């Protein structure tokens, strides 16, 4: 169907090159479920207010459901000449129902129709993402439980810093992904506002009932301004910002585990089923999934930049530029979902090399900060204590010793404030016991956090 065929305004058919240039069918076909759901609600509303008869609404709903089944089965004929999925569905209704099919678009424009479908699609995506993030959190908890007593080196600047319990490390990611879930849920509130009923941009003179449609589609509120309703895409920006943060968290984890999995570090082993080999080096076992997780973050961030650029400087209300909002949203969503579907099983099945980790925590003077705080507790000023422990570290380097190997005499040669009780905090396993602050790696506090999260996530 050409432009001339469905609009009486034009004297000639649309140039085929323009037709191909403007076609979005290959992208927006992804919204056929949402389009039919919204169209059914719209048809039922039209009948409720008397703009069509009950019998006509029944015919429309029945045929829409039939079209939905055909689309699900891949038997519905899609015609690129009809520009998008919305016009394909409407054209099929007209072909099958005649004038009844022509009535569905009463009091509706593609401007408010498409953005309603888009909001429904993103709403459903948010709900699926929330489920996947919760599954990943549960995987981190399961891993933490398997290695509850393991102490690992904590790093700053990728240099050994302080000892931490491995479950404390796992819980850091549980917290990060919870914030991601919270952000998505908050975003969902602004996504879940109904634009349908704004028509092209100014509303309609016909007696529609937007509230009825809102209830049928499960939106929280009606968009209050018709101009804003058809033009607003800030919900896309917010949604993509949420996805970008998820991708950044996943990328940071992937980078860390690529390092930990390397032969140089050897902290953990990844399951064979999530790794690949080399085309030339028989010994290789490459963490490709983690590397792709890290690499594909650029796609998600790029989607955010793309949509922000599309929206930059657009005047009210609808402009065809807005057709370009969907491809980046769909691709970013697919990228994050695909990554999350692999992240949870990788985390759940990873295995620590406890012997290698025990060796690593003995290096790097991880107890130094705890030793400094010991002196502070003995009345030594912080900066003085910092300098004294620095001298102890230098002494250990000069004599090829670790801090726990120092005798009390050696410790007192640097600072007389050291007493016999200092031996109770030397060594990584002892040092973690010394932490007291809320949120720290103290074993008792970590156990409480594990219990709290296990209850919250149902594992």
CATH of the domain at 79: 1.10.275.10
Q: Specify the pLDDT at position 435.
A: 93
223 Cβ neighbours under 8 A, 6+ residues apart:
193, 194, 195, 198, 229, 232
- Asked whether residue 263 falls in the same domain as residue 342, the answer is yes
- Asked whether residue 50 falls in the same domain as residue 155, the answer is no
Q: Which of 53, 131, 262, 278 is catalytic?
A: 278
- State yes or no: cis peptide before 266, omega within 30 of 0: no
Q: Is the pLDDT of residue 5 over 80?
A: no
Q: In Å, how far from its chain's centre is CA 354?
A: 31
Q: How big is the chain by its Cα radius of gyration, in Å?
A: 30
How far, CA to CA in Å, does 415 sit from each of 195, 301, 447?
A: 72, 52, 35
How many C-alpha atoms does 444 have within 13 Å on its Cβ side?
6
- Asked whether residue 23 falls in the same domain as residue 135, the answer is no
Q: Is the pLDDT of residue 148 over 50?
A: yes
Paired strand residues for 351:
269
- Asked whether residue 125 falls in the same domain as residue 250, the answer is yes
Active-site residue 454, yes or no?
Answer: no
Q: Specify the pLDDT at position 7.
A: 62
Higher pLDDT, 307 or 82: 307
Question: What is the C-alpha to C-alpha distance for residues 113 and 41, in angstroms, rounded to an integer?
Answer: 12
Q: Is the pLDDT of residue 54 over 80?
A: yes
Q: Specify the pLDDT at position 10.
A: 77
Confidence of residue 387 (pLDDT cuts 50, 70, 90): very high
- Count the Cβ atoms, other than its own, within 10 Å of residue 346: 22
Q: Is the pLDDT of residue 187 over 80?
A: yes
- Asked whether residue 100 falls in the same domain as residue 115, the answer is no
Q: Which of 157, 205, 437, 455 is catalytic?
A: 157
Q: Specify the pLDDT at position 2.
A: 46
Boundary (domain end) residue, out of 359, 394, 412 = 359
Q: Specify the pLDDT at position 6.
A: 55
- Asked whether residue 100 falls in the same domain as residue 116, the answer is no
Q: Specify the pLDDT at position 4.
A: 45
Question: What is the C-alpha to C-alpha distance for residues 133 and 177, in angstroms, rounded to an integer?
Answer: 6
Question: What is the C-alpha to C-alpha distance for residues 458 and 236, in angstroms, rounded to an integer?
Answer: 31
- Asked whether residue 264 falls in the same domain as residue 398, the answer is no
Read off the CATH number of the domain in which 428 is found: 1.10.40.30
Boundary (domain end) residue, out of 86, 106, 126 = 106
Confidence of residue 452 (pLDDT cuts 50, 70, 90): very high
Q: What is the mean pLDDT of residues 278-303?
A: 92
Give me the chain's average pLDDT, please. Answer: 94
How far, CA to CA in Å, does 426 sit from each of 134, 166, 266, 399, 430?
A: 38, 19, 25, 18, 6
- Asked whether residue 247 falls in the same domain as residue 157, the answer is yes
Do residues 117 and 35 make contact, with C-beta atoms less than 8 angstroms apart?
yes
Buried b (16+ CB within 10 A) or exposed e, 404-414: bebeeeebeeb
Q: Where are the alpha helices (DSSP H) in 76-165?
A: 85-97, 99-102, 110-146
Sign of CA dihedral 368, 372, 373, 377: positive
Q: What is the mean pLDDT of residues 99-111?
A: 97
How far, CA to CA in Å, does 352 sit from each of 46, 225, 359?
A: 62, 56, 13
Q: Is the pLDDT of residue 433 over 70?
A: yes
Q: What is the mean pLDDT of residues 305-328?
A: 94
Q: Specify the pLDDT at position 87.
A: 93
Question: What is the C-alpha to C-alpha distance for residues 26 and 84, in angstroms, rounded to an integer?
Answer: 8
- Asked whether residue 142 falls in the same domain as residue 213, the answer is yes
Q: What is the mean pLDDT of residues 192-214?
A: 98
Looking only at the bridges linking them, the beta strands covering 221-222 and 193-194 are: parallel
- Count the Cβ atoms, other than its own, within 10 Å of residue 254: 23
Phi, psi of 239 (to 5 degrees): -60, -45
Tokens 């990844």: give the residue: 270
Active-site residue 157, yes or no?
Answer: yes
Boundary (domain end) residue, out of 106, 136, 165 = 106
- Asked whether residue 224 falls in the same domain as residue 312, the answer is yes
Tokens 């949120």: give the residue: 439
- Count the Cβ atoms, other than its own, within 10 Å of residue 445: 17
Phi, psi of 351 (to 5 degrees): -125, 135
Give which of 348, 325, 326, 329 is closest to 337, Cα–Cα.
Answer: 329
Do residues 162 and 154 make contact, with C-beta atoms less than 8 angstroms apart?
yes
Residues of the chain with pLDDT > 90, as a percent, come to 88
Do residues 45 and 209 make contact, with C-beta atoms less than 8 angstroms apart?
yes
Residue 164 token pair: 């931490």
What domain range includes position 119? Answer: 111-359
- Asked whether residue 172 falls in the same domain as residue 52, the answer is no
pTM of the prediction?
0.93
Question: What is the C-alpha to C-alpha distance for residues 428 and 164, in angstroms, rounded to an integer?
Answer: 8
Total structural domains within the chain = 3
- Asked whether residue 255 falls in the same domain as residue 135, the answer is yes
Read off the CATH number of the domain in which 321 is found: 1.20.200.10
pLDDT, tens only, 17-35? 887 787 788 888 999 999 9
Q: Specify the pLDDT at position 279.
A: 87
């Amino acid at each position: 169907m050409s432009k001339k065929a469905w609009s009486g305004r034009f004297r000639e058919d649309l140039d085929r090159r323009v037709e191909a240039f403007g076609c979005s069918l290959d992208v927006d076909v992804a919204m056929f479920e949402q389009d039919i759901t919204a169209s059914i609600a719209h048809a039922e509303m039209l009948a409720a207010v008397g703009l069509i008869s009950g019998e006509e609404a029944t015919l429309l709903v029945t045929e829409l459901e039939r079209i939905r089944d055909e689309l699900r089965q891949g038997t519905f004929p899609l015609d690129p000449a009809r520009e998008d999925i919305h016009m394909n569905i409407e054209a099929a209704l007209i072909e099958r129902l005649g004038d009844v099919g022509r009535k569905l678009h009463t009091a509706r424009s593609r401007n408010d129709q498409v953005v309603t479908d888009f909001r429904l699609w993103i709403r459903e995506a948010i709900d699926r993402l929330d489920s996947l993030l919760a599954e990943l959190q549960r995987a981190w908890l399961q891993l933490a439980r398997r290695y509850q007593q393991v102490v690992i080196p904590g790093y700053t600047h990728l240099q050994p810093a302080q000892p931490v319990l491995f479950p404390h490390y796992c819980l850091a990611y549980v917290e990060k992904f919870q914030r991601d879930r919270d952000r998505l849920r908050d975003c969902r509130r602004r996504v879940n506002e109904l634009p349908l009923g704004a028509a092209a941009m100014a509303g309609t003179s016909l007696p529609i009932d937007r509230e009825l449609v809102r209830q049928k589609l499960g939106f929280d509120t009606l968009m209050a301004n018709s101009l804003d309703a058809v033009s607003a895409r800030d919900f896309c920006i917010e949604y993509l910002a949420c996805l970008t943060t998820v991708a950044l968290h996943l990328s940071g984890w992937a980078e860390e585990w690529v390092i930990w999995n390397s032969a140089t570090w050897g902290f953990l082993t990844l399951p064979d089923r999530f790794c690949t080999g080399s085309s030339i080096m028989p010994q290789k076992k490459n963490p490709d999934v983690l590397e792709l997780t890290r690499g594909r973050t650029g796609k998600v961030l790029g989607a955010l930049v793309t949509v922000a650029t599309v929206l930059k400087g657009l005047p009210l209300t609808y402009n065809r530029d807005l057709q370009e909002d969907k491809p980046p949203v769909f691709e970013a969503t697919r990228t994050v979902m695909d990554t999350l579907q692999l992240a949870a099983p990788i985390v759940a099945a990873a295995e620590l090399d406890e012997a290698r980790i025990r060796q690593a925590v003995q290096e790097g003077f991880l107890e130094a900060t705890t030793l400094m705080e010991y002196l502070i507790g003995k009345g030594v000023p912080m900066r003085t204590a910092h300098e004294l422990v620095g001298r102890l570290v230098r002494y250990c380097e000069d004599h090829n010793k670790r801090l726990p190997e120092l005798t009390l005499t050696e410790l007192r040669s640097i600072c007389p404030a050291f007493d016999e009780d200092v031996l109770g905090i030397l060594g990584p396993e002892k040092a973690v016991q010394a932490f007291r602050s809320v949120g720290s790696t103290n074993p008792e506090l970590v156990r409480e956090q594990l219990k709290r999260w296990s209850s919250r996530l149902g594992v």
